[in-house]
A and B are shown apart, each in its own frame.
Chain A
Amino acid sequence: AVRISLKKGLSIRDQMRAAGVLDDFLKHIKYDPVKKYQPSQG
């Protein structure tokens, strides 16, 4: 078997907050974690 070491990325939230774009993003995105499971248009 092949073993792939996984790195852990820095928090996207913290990076967006540091860049000053988090609040604006949260106001505009209607996020739902399940959205990714809806069959996408293709």
Chain B
Amino acid sequence: SVVREPIANHLDSSYFGEISIGEPPQKFLVLFDTGSANLWVPSTDCKSPACFNHAKFQPSASATFTPRGQSYNVSYGSGSVTIVLGSDTLRIQSITVREQELGLSQEEPTQPFYFAAFDGILGMAFPSLAVGGTATALAGMLEQNQLPEPVFSFYFSRQPTYDYGGELILGGVDPQLFQGDITWAPVTQKLYWQVALEEVAIGQSVTGWCGQGCQAIVDTGTFLLTVPQEYIESILEALGAQETSYGYAVDCSDTQSMPQLTFGIGGARLALPPAAYVLNSNGYCTLAIEATYLPSQDGQPLWILGNVFLKEYYTVFDMANNRVGFALSA
């Protein structure tokens, strides 16, 4: 039964890893997010309930912290976080970035940040997207020669567990994590990792939706495959899905026979099998898609390739040549 727009889907899981900030190091779990560009962690000044549920940075306990004072709002799909800028030493394993600008959260929306498994966010999009014009962590790594190669890559496991969801490789590519060749697509707008989407097919039939061009943002901070809302009905019909308050429901026994979705990017056809785009939660199956209502900045239909897509395709982000590479995951 149709109850409401199923936006519950987006509150799904996220993937995160450990960083440390300050001297002596204070540890945090952060979402490595290619869809935003700010680095922020909760601070001891934050009085929001979400902050009490997470690790908090204590500036006075760090010998290398420098306050910057300005306050900004960083907005995400589910609300915005108020941060105050400062700088300190950022460490990610053997990588050290001195005087890295970062945000210390003062206020966070309780829903959903209280329930997030990560403490803060490390944005990996382009510096031009960073609120307050702050230097991004990746720019700091490049400037301080912390990366052997000006690239980073993500592998997301098809069978993730809490302890192992995938890997982020800073400064390189791991041939063990993919098969076949890497297909490259140039970044079309240096704000996010946005590429041209040449075509979308459902099964053998090309939809023609991108005849005038589409854009796709490669976003590790978005869980689902996000579809322009004008195409949602056609996709539901083609896949035999019903809209419910739990999402776009399908019969689990149909999954094997459902068509694959194919995305034309960089001259290649990247297929997404039903096993990748159908979520089975205790025998209740839904499509791992959600709708977006806004076009890309140049007005073309905007898709978001979230974790659901990135589990199928090992993805390389080339900062020197401003291009994104896709290869079938191992």
Cβ of B40 to closest chain A Cβ, rounded Å: 12
Cβ of A20 to closest chain B Cβ, rounded Å: 12
Binds A, one of B55-63, B158-166, B262-270: B158-166
Within 8 Å CB of A34, what residues of B? 77, 226, 292-294, 302, 304
Cα distance A34–B306 when bound, in Å?
12
Within the complex, which residue of B29, B75, B160 is in contact with A40, where a contact is CB–CB below 8 Å? B75
Within the complex, which residue of B132, B174, B290, B302 is in contact with A3, where a contact is CB–CB below 8 Å? B174
Does B36 lie within 8 Å of A36, measured CB to CB? yes
Within 8 Å CB of A40, what residues of B? 72-75, 80, 131
Interface residue B14 (Cβ < 8 Å from any Cβ of A): yes
Interface residue B95 (Cβ < 8 Å from any Cβ of A): yes
Within the complex, which residue of B79, B131, B170, B226 is in contact with A2, where a contact is CB–CB below 8 Å? B170
Contact A31/B10 with A3-B167, A21-B111 known, Cβ cut-off 8 Å: yes
| Interface of chain A, main secondary structure | mixed
Contact A35/B76 with A2-B95, A13-B8, A16-B112 known, Cβ cut-off 8 Å: yes
Does B168 lie within 8 Å of A6, measured CB to CB? yes
Within 8 Å CB of A11, what residues of B? 11-13
Mask: chain A, 3-23; 1 = CB below 8 Å from B; 0 = not: 111111111110110010110
Cα distance A7–B53 when bound, in Å?
18
Cα distance A13–B25 when bound, in Å?
32
Within 8 Å CB of A4, what residues of B? 17-18, 32, 92-93, 167-170
Contact A6/B16 with A29-B78, A39-B129 known, Cβ cut-off 8 Å: yes
Contact A6/B294 with A12-B12, A31-B77, A40-B75 known, Cβ cut-off 8 Å: no
Interface residue B172 (Cβ < 8 Å from any Cβ of A): yes
Binding site for A on B (CB under 8 A): 4, 7-18, 29, 32, 35-36, 72-80, 92-95, 111-112, 115-118, 129, 131-133, 147-149, 156-157, 160-174, 191-192, 217, 221-222, 224, 226, 290, 292-294, 302, 304
